[in-house]
């Protein structure tokens, strides 16, 4: 990304500072909480007002002896600060090397520094990492509009490779994306394929409104019952989110993904995709019929290229007929989907459509793929999901063009 100039002596000095800070933090840690909730709060863009609102929601509950709530907050009009959220407010945690610095929240080194320091300073039996900001499917997450040290305008974001590298070496019970279009096979499989240790992911396959998650609704039940499992906390995040936006006319949904099931799910998807690709001239019409059924109403900034994957599956199989030799492959994918998505909730519009909680990138033609600058090149083609099988399927559907 744009801050790669920080190498050589500067990088060495930075590493020494982080190491020293972590050593001091570990020496000061006298107790181990049940949960640490880490929030990477990138408000250095047009979401700044909502970042302050969500921080206030966290402060409505605050930390306890059993639950740490810590935040790296970068706002539009100020530098980054590592905060511990308390009941009614927050306090700056000393020793974090980026305190008071105009940090680039779109730099993987910033995320790594936050995660490493939080693990050292606030050890716990269980960890929720919440990434808060704009999300844009496999293209990236967390856009920073002032990524430069002098606070000058610019643009940087975290790629999923950067996020994976920053999380490597740690275990997370929950990884939550409070940003748009992260519950898709491309994103979930990227983390699974890279071996990142995450039990559950919480994400949306469509957009998330500016105010994001309901943090008081997440933290209140956790503080009341710190013995909550990762599965139960994941369900609580989904429920609080859906309850917050109920009745407001929002087209929202949220999914809980069991990450240990993702490799098996994707393997079954590739098996089906390969079989369909071999016989594509005969099945193309049915594949297209399924795509039409699954093309749900979230067309924003190019997201019309995504389909709800479970919704694509059912009509495609139905079109092929009950006697299709591919039926066992469809059944295998359906079974894997049920295991990989233990909890999904949708607002009324998506519920009526039958959205299954996870999307897939499925442009309608080679031309639409090639002529949209956000879709081709390193963005999609570099994802493990594309490399290992899905692009070959798309290419066969498009007619090899």
What gap in Å lies between CA 148 and CA 74, rounded to an integer?
Answer: 13
Of the candidates 76, 70, 77, 78, the one whose C-alpha atom is nearest the C-alpha of residue 96 is 70
Of the candidates 365, 359, 375, the one whose C-alpha atom is nearest the C-alpha of residue 307 is 359
- 250: tokens are 């929002």
| The predicted structure's pLDDT at residue 298 | 58
What gap in Å lies between CA 183 and CA 358, rounded to an integer?
Answer: 5
What gap in Å lies between CA 210 and CA 219, rounded to an integer?
Answer: 19
- Taken in order of first residue, the domains within the chain and their CATH numbers are 35-259 (3.40.50.11970), 262-397 (no CATH)
Quick one: residue 306, left, alpha or beta (phi over 0 = left, psi -120 to 50 = alpha)? beta
Residue 153's alpha-carbon distances to 41, 52, 135, 287, in angstroms, are 19, 21, 20, 45
Residue 299's alpha-carbon distances to 338, 346, 370, in angstroms, are 26, 17, 18
| The predicted structure's pLDDT at residue 15 | 32
What gap in Å lies between CA 204 and CA 120, rounded to an integer?
Answer: 30
What gap in Å lies between CA 301 and CA 175, rounded to an integer?
Answer: 25
pTM: 0.90
| The predicted structure's pLDDT at residue 20 | 41
- Sorted by sequence, the CB contacts under 8 Å of residue 23 that are 6+ apart come out as none
Of the candidates 307, 312, 279, 281, the one whose C-alpha atom is nearest the C-alpha of residue 295 is 307
- Sorted by sequence, the CB contacts under 8 Å of residue 261 that are 6+ apart come out as 336, 339, 340
Please report, in tens digits, the pLDDT of each residue of the chain (401 residues total).
222 222 232 322 333 343 444 444 443 444 799 999 999 999 999 999 999 999 999 999 999 999 999 999 999 989 999 999 999 999 999 999 999 999 999 999 999 999 999 999 999 999 999 999 999 999 999 999 998 888 888 889 999 999 999 999 999 999 999 999 999 999 999 999 999 999 999 999 999 999 999 999 999 999 999 999 999 999 999 999 999 998 888 889 999 999 999 999 999 999 999 999 999 999 999 999 999 999 776 555 567 789 999 999 999 999 999 899 999 999 999 999 999 999 999 988 788 777 999 999 999 899 988 888 777 777 899 999 999 999 999 999 999 65
| The predicted structure's pLDDT at residue 249 | 80
| The predicted structure's pLDDT at residue 104 | 96
């Amino acid at each position: 990304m744009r801050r790669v100039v920080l190498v050589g002596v500067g990088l060495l000095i930075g590493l020494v500072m982080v190491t020293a800070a972590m050593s001091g933090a570990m020496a000061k840690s006298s107790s181990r909480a049940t949960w640490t909730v880490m929030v990477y709060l990138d408000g250095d863009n047009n979401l700044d007002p909502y970042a302050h609102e969500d921080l206030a929601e966290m402060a409505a509950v605050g930390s306890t002896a059993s639950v740490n709530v810590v935040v790296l907050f970068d706002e539009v009009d100020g530098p980054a600060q590592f905060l511990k959220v308390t009941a009614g407010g927050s306090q700056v945690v000393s020793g974090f090397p980026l305190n008071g610095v105009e940090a680039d929240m779109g730099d993987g080194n910033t995320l790594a520094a936050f995660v490493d320091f939080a693990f050292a300073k606030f050890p716990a039996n269980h960890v929720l990492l919440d990434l808060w900001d704009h999300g844009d499917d496999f293209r990236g997450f967390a856009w920073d509009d002032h990524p430069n040290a002098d606070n000058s305008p610019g643009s940087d974001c975290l790629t999923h490779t950067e996020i994976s590298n920053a999380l490597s070496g740690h275990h997370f019970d929950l990884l939550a994306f409070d940003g748009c279009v992260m519950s898709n096979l491309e994103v979930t499989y990227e983390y699974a394929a890279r071996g990142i240790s995450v039990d559950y992911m919480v994400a949306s396959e469509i957009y998330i409104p500016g105010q994001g998650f309901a943090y008081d609704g997440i933290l209140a039940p956790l503080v009341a019952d710190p013995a909550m499992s990762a599965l139960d906390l994941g369900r609580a995040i989904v429920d609080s989110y859906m309850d917050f936006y109920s009745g407001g006319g929002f087209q929202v949904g949220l999914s809980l993904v069991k990450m240990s099931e993702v490799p098996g799910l994707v393997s079954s998807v590739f098996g089906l995709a390969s079989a369909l690709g071999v016989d594509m001239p005969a099945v193309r019409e049915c594949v297209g019929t399924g795509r039409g059924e699954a093309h749900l109403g979230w067309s924003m900034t190019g997201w019309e290229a995504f389909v709800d994957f479970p919704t694509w599956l059912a009509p495609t199989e139905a079109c092929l007929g009950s006697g299709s030799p591919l039926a066992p492959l469809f059944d295998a994918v359906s079974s894997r989907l049920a295991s990989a998505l233990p909890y999904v909730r949708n607002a009324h519009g998506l519920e009526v459509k039958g959205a299954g909680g996870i999307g897939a990138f499925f442009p309608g033609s080679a031309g639409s793929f090639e002529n949209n600058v956000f879709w081709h090149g390193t963005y999609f083609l570099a994802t493990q999901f594309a490399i290992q099988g899905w692009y070959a399927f798309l290419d066969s559907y498009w007619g090899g063009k």
